[in-house]
Amino acid sequence: MTQVRKHYKDFKISWKLALKLLSFFLFVLVVSFTFNHTKRANYFPIKEVKIAGLEHVDHQEVQDLLRPLVTKGFFTVDLDLIKERLMHFSWVSEAYVRRIWPNQIIVQVIEKKPVARWNHAGLLTTSGEIFSPNQDSHPKDLPVFVGPEGEHMQMLNYYLKMATLLEPLQLKITNLELKPQLTWQVTLSNGIKLNIGYKDVLTRISHFVKVYPQIVGNRSKDVDYVDLRYANGFAVRWKA
């Protein structure tokens, strides 16, 4: 019996010693990891950041944004955070960030592609997104869409189809308006305005394109507007 108690006591002492050794080992491991991680953060500092794809986003603003984010070492710089911050710019559609050994960060920015100005305030992309960057950054050669809120996708779809129909005349749409009564008005690049109405919009434009050379020809500067709202034709109002 005495022998059993002795073994049990020795076992308790060994178990306590093992726990103490394990705790000490874990402590050393944590301290070593922390030290190495801190030390590693200062290894291979970022010396160069290359930025590509900027057209409308201010390059200096991007540099100012990135400067405090690349102060860590090559291995510890937070690429996801850089991308997240870049996505805050209105013009940015996508951003790709990667490391180049031993001391470079490469940033590739994909900007949004506007197809029109929306209600003189925002921009409309080919995917139907409306965004509102600083107006100083708006491209000057975009057509202007004016219409009720929520109708931008319908206007975009009609615009693309109208633009295709007008290609034989080498004319572009500079202004597309959908009025509250859902009637359409188009201003062409030669200054002619088309009052289209709300019915058979594409059919009426197609008819206009076919007879344009005979009716208007080289007298586009003399045309005030063209009324396409007639069922079997259209009327031209000439300038006085």
3-class secondary structure, 227: strand
Each residue's pLDDT, cut to its tens digit, for the chain (240 residues) gives 555 444 444 445 565 666 666 665 665 554 455 445 544 556 788 999 999 999 999 999 999 999 999 988 888 899 999 999 999 999 999 999 999 999 999 999 999 999 999 998 899 999 999 999 998 999 989 999 999 999 999 999 999 999 999 999 999 999 999 998 889 999 999 999 999 999 999 999 999 999 999 999 999 999 999 999 988 888 999 987
Specify the pLDDT at position 80. 96
Instruction: Examine residue 148 and say whether the peptide bond preceding it is cis (omega within 30 degrees of 0).
Output: no
Specify the pLDDT at position 2. 52
Specify the pLDDT at position 240. 77
- Record: fold of 114-238: Rossmann fold (3.40.50)
Cα angle 22-24-26, degrees, rounded to a multiple of 5? 70
Specify the pLDDT at position 232. 80
- Contact (Cβ atoms closer than 8 angstroms) between residue 164 and residue 207: no
Specify the pLDDT at position 74. 87
DSSP 239: P
- What the block records as the tokens of 98 is 């990667």
Which residues touch 3 (CB under 8 Å, ≥6 apart)?
Answer: none
What would the DSSP string read from start to end of 121-187? TEEEETTS-EE---GGGS-TT--EEE--TT-HHHHHHHHHHHHHHHGGGT--EEEEEE-TTS-EEEE
- Contact (Cβ atoms closer than 8 angstroms) between residue 152 and residue 146: no
Specify the pLDDT at position 106. 96
- 48-111: CATH number: 3.10.20.310
Specify the pLDDT at position 184. 97
Specify the pLDDT at position 72. 84
